[in-house]
């Protein structure tokens, strides 16, 4: 029997308050479970609908702690529904607000708190504190144990993000998003899945949200199948712009067979020759006054 891991992308329009987003998010998770989902993924910063402001005080006013009732509600819900939930929020910390994701397993246990590493420092996100690392957590699902990592929006535009998650063992990367998912950004996700031989699930806001257009997607990273001539389309799902819950199923056994035999990922890399990748020096034409280490 195939091990199909079903992921629900909650492509939702946010409401005007934290409480309303909590209630709408709760209902969406319940619907996702009825559809058979093992994991439910929210778009970026669901707690405030990625409502961004230009001043730090505006961010601080919307921020909630990682153990706030908003976040903990989804932990309890995960246990009640027997379904993992990746909830996104503007996190309050002592250093300042962060763009964060908490992953609860199907028993309601907190498996990961990840903060966006590549904040958009050319815009309002400069008021946020960047995350310090990438993490991989092991989820116990009805399909068995699955190693899951996370990137948030702008993170996916750096191949290093997905690469480090692959090197840490990720089989699946969850990507909350809040921007137009046009052809080039979709191509980035396709490439990240292909070159690392892993699945990538991205949840965006629908086209009812300014500067967003839906197009939530799932790529399974399996480009070739035995006995099949040529390559296959790794895209399992690409939503349209409408609000909704979109479900995709990843064949874990197929993915693992592929990872055991194909040439990508960490099979033929030469890390000793990549020293320049860890150099911190930046030269023209990539110098930017608003860059921060």
Task: Answer yes or no: 116 catalytic.
Answer: yes
Alpha helices in 55-167 (DSSP H): 56-62, 69-81, 159-167
Q: Choose, from 33, 91, 116, 203, the residue flagged as catalytic.
A: 116
* Lookup result for tokens 């819900």: 77
Range 154-158, long-range pairs (CB < 8 A, 24+ positions) = 154/116, 154/118, 154/119, 154/120, 155/116, 155/117, 155/118, 156/185, 156/188, 156/189, 156/192, 156/200, 156/202, 157/118, 157/185, 157/188, 158/118
- Contact assessment for residue 107 and residue 276, using Cβ atoms and an 8 Å cutoff: no
Q: Choose, from 29, 33, 44, 212, the residue flagged as catalytic.
A: 44
Q: Choose, from 29, 153, 203, 212, the residue flagged as catalytic.
A: 153
Task: Answer yes or no: 153 catalytic.
Answer: yes
> What's the CA gap between 238 and 190, in Å, rounded?
11
Helix (H, G, I), strand (E, B) or coil at 155: helix
Pairing outcome for strands 136-141 and 4-11: unpaired
Task: Answer yes or no: 179 catalytic.
Answer: no
> What's the CA gap between 39 and 104, in Å, rounded?
9
Give the residue numbers annotated as catalytic, written as ranges.
44, 116, 153
């Amino acid at each position: 029997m195939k091990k199909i891991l079903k992921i629900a992308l909650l492509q939702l329009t946010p409401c005007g308050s934290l409480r309303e987003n909590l209630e709408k998010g709760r209902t969406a998770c319940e619907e996702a479970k009825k559809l058979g989902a093992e994991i439910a993924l929210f778009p970026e910063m669901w707690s405030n609908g990625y409502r961004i402001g230009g001043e730090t005080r505006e961010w601080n006013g919307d921020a909630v702690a990682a153990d706030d009732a908003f976040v903990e509600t989804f932990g309890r819900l995960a246990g009640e529904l027997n379904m993992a939930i990746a909830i996104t929020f503007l996190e309050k910390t002592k250093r300042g607000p962060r763009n964060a994701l908490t992953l609860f397993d199907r028993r309601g246990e907190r498996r990961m708190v990840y903060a966006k590493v590549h904040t958009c420092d050319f815009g309002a996100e400069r008021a946020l504190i960047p995350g310090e690392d990438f993490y991989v957590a092991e989820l116990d699902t009805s399909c068995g144990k699955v190693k899951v990592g996370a990137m948030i929006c702008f993170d996916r535009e750096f191949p290093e993000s997905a690469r480090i998650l692959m090197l840490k063992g990720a089989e699946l990367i969850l990507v909350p998003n809040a921007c137009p998912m046009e052809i080039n950004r979709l191509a980035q996700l396709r490439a990240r899945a292909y070159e690392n031989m892993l699945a990538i699930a991205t949840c965006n806001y629908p086209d009812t949200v300014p500067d967003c257009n839906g197009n939530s997607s799932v790529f399974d990273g399996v480009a070739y199948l035995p006995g099949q001539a040529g390559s296959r389309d790794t895209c399992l799902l690409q939503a349209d712009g409408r609000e909704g819950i979109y479900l995709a199923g990843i064949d874990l056994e197929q993915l693992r067979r592929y990872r055991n035999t194909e040439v990508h990922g960490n099979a033929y890399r030469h890390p000793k020759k990549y020293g320049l990748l860890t150099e911190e020096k930046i030269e023209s034409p990539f110098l930017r006054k608003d860059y921060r280490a």
